[in-house]
Structure 1
Amino acid sequence: MDLQLSVFLLFILFTAGHSLSCYECMSPTGSCAEQTVKTCPIGYSQCMSLTTERQVGDITFKVKAKDCAVTCQSWSMNFGFARTTSSCCDTNKCNAQDAPDPIPNGKKCYFCDDKSCSNKLSCLGTEDRCIKATGTFEGQSVLKGCVSKSICDDTTSAGVGSGNVTCCEGNLCNGAQSVTQSFLFLCCSLLSYFMMH
């Protein structure tokens, strides 16, 4: 009986001692200078680092976040006016560095602004697919840009947009069309989905 109790206590101590620790921060100013170490809850097996940049006129907003994640994949998406990059790892405090700033990879896709969807965008880092998402918000809305393959796989398996999200592999394969309505709502919805999954 004492041997079983000892083994049980050792098991508890062993598993508690192997909880993953990740850096945690949320910075709307673009700097995670004040990050803390967090012991991840049970079931969280990865650390993540996320960087989002948003261009509004001549002003660029940058947000950085770090935390524990249940499941995580490194990915990037770029819609011309907004870009998000996520990096993931699975060892203690492995998310000390920010998500990397991706470099151009030679691929090109179309992106939309408030006047046209025929703007050309240079894809960065792991962005190896072009994306086109349509939805209805005050009329027809279109969102186009560059994304990583893992985002396309997630939208297909999760049924995001009920067939309104399509990905393709060739340069400029997401077609050029004009757009007359705001697509900010669609962008925010799509970005929120990927940040939460």
Structure 2
Amino acid sequence: MDLQISVFLLFILFTAGHSFRCYECNSLTGSCAGQTVKTCPIGSSYCVTSTAVVKVGDTSTKVKIKDCAPACQSVSMNTGLSVVTSSCCNTDQCNAQDPPDPNPNGKKCFYCDGQSCSNILNCLGTEDHCIKATVAYGGQSVSVKGCASKSICDATESVHNVHNIESISCCEGNLCNGAQSVSQSFLFLCCSLLSYFLLH
């Protein structure tokens, strides 16, 4: 009996002393070559990796973030000229490697390129909805359209009136997000949406 109690107490001591850890990285170059290991705060039991790629003309900028998270929500949003993905896992230091690039899934949505919103985009991975949004910028409304995962669409109610977002909506059918033309720059709205989903 004493042996069983001793083994039980030893087990409790070892498990109580184990802290959940994740890789941490905040890179504006897209490389996490110098990533470090971080002991997560109490309540954070997931590791997350988020990547944002924005293309402006011939220039492409990639931002990568790795950290601890209190909840797990894998999301993806693709506006044709910007792609944001976030994936998570729940084992110690499980975010060492980047998740694989998502493949086209057969879904199609309209996207805006700054001149027209009648361009057709092949959605990737978990992007099973079409999204459209408008934001007030410089006294004008700017449009963004593209593909999004269901978890982003589920969160759209909480982003109304955030970062000057006037409206945001999702739909499920192919090309269901309309093809109206625009002549405004969409970069501001992309950055607003990207920052909201990466930081919240």
- What is the TM-score of this pair, normalised by structure 1? 0.88
Query: Matched residues in 2 for 1:163 and 1:59: separation?
Result: 29
Q: Distance in 1 between matches of 2:10 and 2:195?
A: 42
Q: Percent identity?
A: 67
2:40 match: 40
Which of 190, 195, 198 lines up with 1:187 in the alignment?
Answer: 190
Residue 20 of structure 1 deviates from its aligned partner by: 1.1
1:189 aligned counterpart, secondary structure: helix
Q: Is the 8 A contact 2:52 2:194 kept in 1?
A: no
User: Which position in structure 2 is the counterpart of 1:107?
Assistant: 107
Q: For residues 31-70 of structure 1, what are the structure 2 equivalents within 5 Å?
A: 31-70=31-70
Unaligned runs of 5+ in 1: 1-8
> What is the CA RMSD across the aligned residues, in angstroms?
2.0
CA contact (8 A) 2:135 2:166 kept: no
Q: Which of 177, 180, 191 lines up with 1:177 in the alignment?
A: 180
Q: Deviations over 1:174-196 (max 9, x none)?
A: 00011122222222111111111
Distance 1:41 1:170, change over 3 A: same
Partner of 1:153: 154
Deviation at 1:160, TM superposition (A): 2.8
TM-score w.r.t. the length of structure 2 is 0.87
Equivalence for 2:170: 167
Query: Would you say how many aligned residue pairs link Structure 1 and Structure 2?
Result: 188
Q: Deviations over 1:104-152 (max 9, x none)?
A: 1111101111111111111000000000011211211111000000000
Structure 1 pair 10/154, CA: closer, same or farther in 2 (3 Å)? farther
Q: 1:84: how far off?
A: 1.0
SS in 2 for 1:194: helix
**3-state SS of 1:41 partner:** coil
Quote the offset at 1:90 in angstroms: 1.0
**Amino acid of the structure 1 residue aligned with 2:106:** G
- 121-130 or 62-71: bigger deviation: 62-71
> 1:43-62 CA distances to partner (integer Å, 9 max, x unpaired)?
21210011111111112222
